[in-house]
Every structure is written in C-alpha cells, then in structure tokens.
Amino acid sequence: MLLELAGIGKRFGGLQVIRSMDFGVDAGEIVGLIGPNGAGKTTIFNLVMGVYRPDDGRIVFDGHDITRVATEDICRRGIARTFQVVKPFGNLTTWQNVMVGAFLRMRRQDEARAWAAETLKVVGLWPRRHDLARGLTIGLRKRLEVARALATRPRLLLLDEVMGGLNPTEVQGMMALVRDVRAQGVSVLIIEHVMAAVMSLSDRIVVLHHGEKIAEGPPAHVARHPDVVQAYLGEEHLLA
C-alpha cells in the first residue's frame, strides 16, 4: 500500500465527521472516492495533507507515518493535491504558476523553468503559458491545478472534483489526462461527482456516507451495492 489510512477518526466540536476509516491506495492505482455531499471526502484529503490532525488512527505513506507531519512537508514527501474550488496564483502567468510547483524539486531557476515547461506541454497548457492565471476559463484553471501539482513530481495525486464545472469535451480531456498521469507512474486518489468519469477511470472505488466507508470494490460492484444506492437516493446524481 502506497497510502494507508488506518482507523482514522476526526471530530469538529461535537460532530464526528470521519469515523473509523480504513482504506488505502496502491502504487499504480486510480482509486475513486465518492459519496453524497458532506460525507467527509474533502476532509480525508485535508487529513492526508496535514491541514487537520486526526483524533484517532494513523496515516502511512510509503512506509512512513505521516499523521503528524506538517502540510508543506507532505508535498515534499510525494503527495500533491488539487482543490475543489480552484486556487490559482491569479497575478502570475500559467508558466509562473507551474514553476512554483517545480521549485519544490529544483533549486535553480533554469531547471525549474524547464521542468515547468515540460509539465505544461504534457498537460496541454503550453500555448497558454504566458496567460495570466486569473484570466483563464474554469476548464483551463482545473488543468493548471493539475499541472502545478504534477510539477512537484508526486508519487500520489489527490484530485478534488477536478471535473466540476467542465463541459463534456473538457471532461473527456481531463479523463485522458488522468490516465496519462497514471501511465507516468503517479497513483491517483480522485474525489468526483461526475459518476460516468469516476466509474470509468477508477480501478477501485471507495464510497463514503456520513463519515463512514459503506462500500469498497470495483466500479461495477459498487454501483449495484444496496447501501450505495440507498445513500444516493434523493440526491441528484446519476449512477453510471
């Protein structure tokens, strides 16, 4: 297991948002994390990235306990994330944005610049390299988030609703990108509401509801799972 959550629990005040969570991501996998709103998916990301400390349990990455590691060190160790509501560095260009990520691994500007250029090309943002981030459309901003995270050379990429707000063409493009990312040896944990996408991309799916894991397994199995169907009743999501 590349990433492993064991017995994770998290409370905010009196509210138990995550309860006894066990799951993991293997090297080379794409794991989908789904569940109704408020299930705790982004909280999981925040726990992994050290934004919150779990009240119970451990998080282990690549054999090292990272439960208490500071956020900036998490990325150094090889986990990068994107945000549900994109957070670009608005006053910088696309290229400059990605360079921030590149500088994690490289000290020299020319190396960072070159690596950022590589990443931009892979992600398909090279033609927009001089555009100001704040002027980009939502689809391009989502791409930029991914590019920036990729520039840090992660072993594991956490994608938080990276398809949200994209039109069908853009969704296809993003799906292809996620597959490319995995092909380069980066494991992916993806939170997604666009069911068609996540069912198609994931090797394995973990379903959360009210902070608990209610199902886990291959997409086809999970889609038919009675608890999963129950959890989604009344929600406006379409299962694949």
Residue 119 CB, nearest approach to another protein (Å): 13
- Using CB under 8 A as the binding rule, whether residue 72 contacts another protein is answered as yes
- Written as one letter, the residue type at 92 is L
- Using CB under 8 A as the binding rule, whether residue 232 contacts another protein is answered as no
Query: Can you tell me which of 146, 149, 174, 197 binds another protein, judged by CB under 8 A?
Result: 149
- Using CB under 8 A as the binding rule, whether residue 148 contacts another protein is answered as yes
Distance CA 196, CA 162 (A): 14
> Which stretch, 24-32, 86-94, 214-222, 223-231, contacts another protein (CB under 8 A)?
86-94
SS3 70: coil
Strands of the sheet containing 56-61, edge to edge, are 15-25, 3-12, 56-61, 64-65
Integer angstrom CA distances of residue 239 from 13, 154, 218, 233: 34, 31, 14, 11
- Using CB under 8 A as the binding rule, whether residue 60 contacts another protein is answered as no
Strand partners, 63: none
Query: Can you tell me which of 7, 26, 28, 91 binds another protein, judged by CB under 8 A?
Result: 91
Cα three-residue angle 83-104-67, rounded to 5 degrees: 60
> Which stretch, 10-18, 110-118, 201-209, 218-226, contacts another protein (CB under 8 A)?
110-118
- Using CB under 8 A as the binding rule, whether residue 34 contacts another protein is answered as no
Short-list 122, 130, 113, CA closest to 178: 122
Short-list 80, 33, 69, CA closest to 205: 33
Of residues 87 and 224, the one with the C-beta less far from another protein: 87
Q: How many CB atoms lie within 10 A of CB 15?
A: 8
Residue 41 CB, nearest approach to another protein (Å): 17
Residue 14 CB, nearest approach to another protein (Å): 17
- Using CB under 8 A as the binding rule, whether residue 130 contacts another protein is answered as yes
Distance CA 194, CA 166 (A): 10
Q: Which residues bind another protein (CB under 8 A)?
A: 49, 51, 71-76, 80-81, 83, 87-93, 95-96, 99-101, 103-104, 106-107, 109-110, 112-114, 117, 130, 132, 148-149, 152
